[in-house]
Amino acid sequence: MQVMATRALLSFCKRGKKVFENRGFDLIMEAITVGSIECKGLAAAIIGVSATGELKKGANVEIERAVRLLKLLLKAEEATCRERALGALVNTVLLHEQRNKVLTELLEDDELLRLATFIEFLFEQATAGPTCGCQVLATSLLGQLVNNASIRNLISTEERIKLICVMMEKGQTLEVRAAAAGFLWELAYSARGSLVGRSLRNCVSSLVKCLTQGDAQVARNAVGALASFAYKHEEAKNLITGETDTIPTVVKMLTENTDPGVQVQACRLLWILADNHVVNQASIREAGAIPLLSKLLRKIDRQDIVVQAAWAISRLARKCRVNQDSMASPDLQIISSLVGLLKVQAGRGWEVVWEKAAHALAEIANGHEGNQELIVKEEGVVEALVALLRSDTERQRVPIFAAMALRMLAEGNQGDARVIVKNKASLGLKELRDSPLAMKNKQLKTAVEKALRTLDLEN
């Protein structure tokens, strides 16, 4: 009878009905506390499904009830019950519109599971859980918890980081390894450069090894984690490039037969490594990245790839004459591709592509008269940049980078480029300088004034 009632409740839940009101909650509680293994599993399924509906915008009391029930179920001896409870918890944390509310209840120091004990339990399930499903779900939940500043130090101890690294390298399945790499990605993003020393070295070494395991999800999470560790973190950058063949391995990820998600993160890691780093700029070029990035610029059906590829081009070109020369090759079509991106009218969301493409053109042109002339000869490029000056966009870096590109196309130029830019862009620059937008945005006003000064149009 209890199984039938719980099944009926699950059926109601799947049809979008609310089950955490009145008798429904009592039935779930009974199923978890005194029900059979099947009843407990069904109860966890009800909460997991509710996370996509009723609990997604649930009130405090509903979330409190759901999480308390799942924490009780986590103490069950049956592996399947624990696995389903973990899955429901992951759903509830990931999908709820106020994630911090869920985390607060999940981590509450109460009589059910004290915080330190709960974290210890999750690590046991992640590294030695009875099923691979338990390991994957516990690791995913830890990845969400590490974003909570109050418990990050508890989770990211050197010993526990080492356990995750071993799990990532030697996990029983690729799903387990991918989950471990995903945890490190979450940790890298949330730690924001605070992880150092032996823990950072262990992470980097294990992540680099995972780049060649042949699975797209493992590779995507591993390269994404490396990029997040390296962002504005010189120690991490040096550790990554110090590993044998890291840059050539990452460059190979840009090839056409690679998973798109891997390509996005590979581009991201490359531009982070190249940023203001002459040696890495050269190493990335020598590994053959520039021709591969040029192909990715033309994948306009994948905005995420185009954005990261354009930014990688920008960071590789910055103050690097050899790379600027390489990018001018007509065979690669980098300049024409970037100009083409400026002209695409793909609606909201495409503004970030305009932004990165304008910046890339600016860096390719910066101090390089030959490239300035080549870019200006592209049909409609100056007009496209002027249009960006006047674009109605919330991304204020679009007109800033457009003004920067116009300046770089003319700065130090003794040929036709400067004259063409001056003739076609002067009105747009002056209009923007005198606009309310420039009055409110100091960075924009400075960029426009620099462009006007370069073109002798200050008055």
pLDDT greater than 50 at residue 317: yes
Q: pLDDT digit string (tens) for 19-33?
A: 666 566 677 777 777
Sign of CA dihedral 342, 270, 291, 374: positive
Angstrom distance (rounded) from CA 21 to CA 193? 45
Decide yes or no: CATH 3.30.1490.190 for domain 1-113: no
Q: Mean pLDDT, to the nearest integer, of 350-377? A: 96
Q: pLDDT digit string (tens) for 24-78?
A: 667 777 777 777 877 777 777 777 666 555 555 555 556 667 777 777 777 777 7
The rounded radius of gyration (Å) of the Cα atoms in the chain is: 27
Residue 29 backbone phi and psi in degrees, to 5 = -60, -45
Coil, strand or helix: which one is 453?
Answer: helix
Amino acid at 244: T
pLDDT greater than 70 at residue 266: yes
Locate 423 and state its tokens: 């003739």
CB 317 within 8 A of CB 364: yes
Angstrom distance (rounded) from CA 232 to CA 280? 15
Q: Provide the pLDDT for residue 99.
A: 56
CB 227 within 8 A of CB 265: yes
CB 409 within 8 A of CB 421: yes
pLDDT band at 112; cut points 50, 70, 90: very low
Tell me how far CA of residue 6 lies from CA of 9, 71, 149, in angstroms.
5, 19, 38
Coil, strand or helix: which one is 277?
Answer: coil
Non-local (6+) Cβ contacts of 186 within 8 A are 143, 144, 146, 147
Point out the least confidently predicted range of 69-73, 179-183, 219-223, 371-375: 69-73
Q: Provide the pLDDT for residue 76.
A: 72
The more confidently predicted of residues 264 and 192 is: 264
